[in-house]
Structure 1
Amino acid sequence: MPQNIPRDHHYVPQFYLRNFATDPEKQKLTTVAKHGHVAVWAKRSIKSLGFERDLYVSMRDGVPVSVENIINERIETPISESDTWTKLVNGRADALDKTDKPILYALIRHLNVRTPHYMAVTMELARLAEHQDSAIPFTNEEREHYAYLRANPNEAKAMFNLMSMSIGWAEADYRKAALSIFRSPIPLRTLSSPVMSIRAPTHPALYLPMPGLTPYQLVLALNPTTIACLVLGDFDDAFGNIEMPMDSALGFNRQFVAQFALYDGIRHLVTSRDDLSVYMTWAPYSLIEDTEQKITYRRKA
C-alpha cells in the first residue's frame, strides 16, 4: 500500500469517543482495559483507543486494498458534521426529533458492523454452522454462506470491509425500524465495540434474521446522558425521545459491564470510576488495587 495510507485503523471513530472525553480539549477519557485476566481502569488518550493494524485491508488480485479513507469520507465525516451530531455535542439530546432519525439509524447500523468483535462473531457463526447438531437452526442457505466464508477467509474480510464502508445494505430496514432516544438521569458508559445487542421484549412486529433467534435491540450510548435503541421490524418508521427512569439507566450501565466481561473482543469499557468496583466485582472481577490514578481488577477463576 502507498506510504500515505494510514495503517492503524480506528474501529471506534474519534468523533464518537470525544463525546465521552474527560478534559476540555477532548483528548482524554477513562476506560477499563483488558490485559489477559487483568483489567485496569485509567486515563487514556482517545487517539490510542479502539484501533487495529490494517483492520480494513483485504487482498484483491494479490494486492492489499484499504477502505479506511473511504469509511472516513463516506460515513464518519458526514455524520460528525451533521446537525444531529451538533445537537449531541452541545448537550441538546432533548432536541433530537424524527428529522434526526436517518443519521442516528446510519450511525447505529454502521458502528455495529465495523468492529473486530463483529468480525469475530461472524466467523464463530461460520464455525457453528459447520455442525449439523448446532444449537442454532441454520437454514441450508445460511450453511452454504458460512461454508463459503470458512473456505475463503479473504472474501470474509472483503465482505466485512464492504459493509464497513457503506450503509446501503441497511437501507431496506430503515422505514419500518423503530428508534427511541432515552435521556438518562445518571452518566452512562459505553464500549470499544459501542453497539450492544441486548434482549428485547417479544413483539409480533420484530424482525428476526435467523430462525429461533432471541428478540433483540441495538443499543448505542450517544453521549454520557443519552441512549439510542433501535428495533428492526414492522414499526411504521416510529421515533420517540423521552427521559428514562433511574432503574433503566442502571440496567443499561450493568449491560455495558456485562458485555465487556463476556466478550474477549470488547477491549475497553469507557466509564468513570464512580461505583465502578460495585459493577466490576459483580461482572465477575476481583478488586486488586485502587489508587487515584489506577484501579486494577483480576478476573475470577
Structure 2
Amino acid sequence: MAERNSQHTKRNHYVPQFYMRQFALDDDRTKVKCLSRHAPYVSVGVKSIARIGYEEDLYTFSVAGSKASIEDDLNQTIETPIVNSDTWKKIVAGEPDRLDQSDKLTLYLLMRHLQFRNIENLRFIEQEAAHARDFGFRDDYSEDEREMYAALSRTAAGPPSYFLSMAVNMQQFALHWDRASIAVIRSRVPLRSSTNPTLVIPRKLGHITLLEELEAGAFCYWLPLSPHFGVMLTMSHRFNDFVHQELPDDAARVFNRLYLGQLLEMPSTRHCFADDPEIEGDLQWADFDRFDGTGDRGRYKREVRHTG
C-alpha cells in the first residue's frame, strides 16, 4: 500500500523512463529524438527523457488531508522486477531472437501495464464517466459496465481513484491470460513509439499472420521495444501462441503513421519517438509544412489544402 509522504514525487512518469531509453540517442542515452505537439505546431527535435511522459501528481491522492502516492508501489512491485528480469535484459541487449515462451508472461504484463497506467487511460475513464452522468449509458455497455460507470460518475474523485487502482494492479490481467498470443516482430524500417506506447491495431490492416483469422471481438496491441523490433499482443479465443515474425516494410510504415496520427489526434499524447528518414514526408502527408528550422530540427504547421 502507498504510504503518506509529505515529500511525495510530483513528477509522475506515466510511461516509464526505462522504456523511453530504448529509443534514446546513441551518443546520449538521456535524450530522445521526437515529434512534439505544441498547437498549432509540431516540432522535431531532441528532448530529455526525464522531462517528457510525465504529469505532476498523476499518481497522488489525499488521505485525511495528507498526500500519498502510488509511485513507490509502481517502482518497487512492477518496474524494478521487469527491469531486472531476464526478458528485459534480452531486450536491452537488442537480442529479440532470444525471447521465447519463458518470456511471454513478462511481455504480456508489460504491454498491459503500460496501457493501463498511461494518462490516456485516465482520460478515457473520465470521458466515459462524464457520458454516463450527462447522457446515460452507452447502448453497448454490459451490466457490469453500467454499474461501474454509475458509481464512478457520482463524484469527481471516482475516475482518478479507479485509475490509480488499475495502474498498480497486475492481478487484473490474469483473467485474460489464456487468450493471449505474443509475436516478437523484427522490422527493417526504423520503428516509432510515443508517450502512449501501447497501440491498438485495427484488424483490417492485415499484414500480420496473427491478424488473418481473428474472430470478431478479438483485440490486437502493438508495442515497439526498440527502433528495430517490437511485440504484438493478440487477445483471441482461437490462439494462445508465441511466435517470431518479420514485419513487412509497408506494415511498419503504417504502424509509424498510426503513431503520428495518435500524436495529432489524441490530446494526451504529446511526444512521438521518431528518428527515421520518413518524418518529413509523413508530416507532409498529414498536411503539415515546415514553418521554420533547418535540417532534422524545426517546426511544422498544418496548412489548409485547396483543391479544384
Give TM-score scaled by structure 2 length.
0.88
What does 1:68-79 align with in structure 2 at a 5 Å threshold? Answer: 68-79=71-82
Whether the 8 Å contact between 1:176 and 1:238 is mirrored in structure 2 is no
Structure 1 residues 300 and 163: CA distance shift in structure 2, 3 A: farther
Matched, 1:298 2:283: no
Whether the 8 Å contact between 1:58 and 1:154 is mirrored in structure 2 is no
Partner of 2:207: none
Partner of 1:48: 51
Whether the 8 Å contact between 1:207 and 1:232 is mirrored in structure 2 is no
Q: Which amino acid aligns with 2:84?
A: E
Structure 1 residues 290 and 197: CA distance shift in structure 2, 3 A: same
- The 2-side partners of 1:74 and 1:185 are apart by 35
What does 1:244-255 align with in structure 2 at a 5 Å threshold? Answer: 244-255=247-258
- The 2-side partners of 1:38 and 1:265 are apart by 16
Partner of 1:83: 86
Whether the 8 Å contact between 2:214 and 2:238 is mirrored in structure 1 is yes
Whether the 8 Å contact between 1:129 and 1:138 is mirrored in structure 2 is no
Whether the 8 Å contact between 1:261 and 1:284 is mirrored in structure 2 is no
Matched position secondary structure for 1:27: strand
Matched, 1:256 2:277: no
Partner of 1:100: 103
Partner of 2:246: 243
For residue 115 of structure 2, the aligned residue among 112, 117, 122 is 112
Partner of 1:33: 36
Whether the 8 Å contact between 1:191 and 1:266 is mirrored in structure 2 is yes
Point out where structure 1 has 5 or more consecutive residues left out of the alignment.
Answer: 209-214
Q: Among all aligned residue pairs of Structure 1 and Structure 2, give the percentage whose two residues are the same amino acid.
A: 29
For residue 177 of structure 2, the aligned residue among 174, 177, 183 is 174
Matched, 1:23 2:20: no
Partner of 1:280: 283
1:59-113 CA-to-partner distances (Å, cap 9, x unmatched) read 3344322000110111111111111111111110121111111110010000001
Matched position secondary structure for 2:29: coil
Structure 1 residues 57 and 43: CA distance shift in structure 2, 3 A: same
Matched position secondary structure for 1:175: helix
Q: CA deviation at 1:253?
A: 1.0
Structure 1 residues 252 and 205: CA distance shift in structure 2, 3 A: closer
Q: Which amino acid aligns with 2:172?
A: W
Partner of 2:151: 148
Partner of 2:196: 193
Aligned residues: 294
Partner of 1:57: 60
Give TM-score scaled by structure 1 length.
0.90
Matched position secondary structure for 2:140: coil
Report the more deviating stretch, 33-42 or 2-11. Answer: 2-11
Whether the 8 Å contact between 1:59 and 1:154 is mirrored in structure 2 is no
- The 1-side partners of 2:47 and 2:107 are apart by 27
Partner of 1:211: none
For residue 162 of structure 1, the aligned residue among 165, 169, 183 is 165
Partner of 1:212: none
Point out where structure 2 has 5 or more consecutive residues left out of the alignment.
Answer: 205-210
- The 1-side partners of 2:213 and 2:149 are apart by 28
- The 2-side partners of 1:6 and 1:144 are apart by 33
Structure 1 residues 83 and 50: CA distance shift in structure 2, 3 A: same
Q: Which amino acid aligns with 2:288?
A: Y
- The 2-side partners of 1:241 and 1:190 are apart by 20
Whether the 8 Å contact between 2:6 and 2:67 is mirrored in structure 1 is no
Report the more deviating stretch, 196-205 or 256-265. Answer: 196-205
Whether the 8 Å contact between 2:33 and 2:275 is mirrored in structure 1 is yes
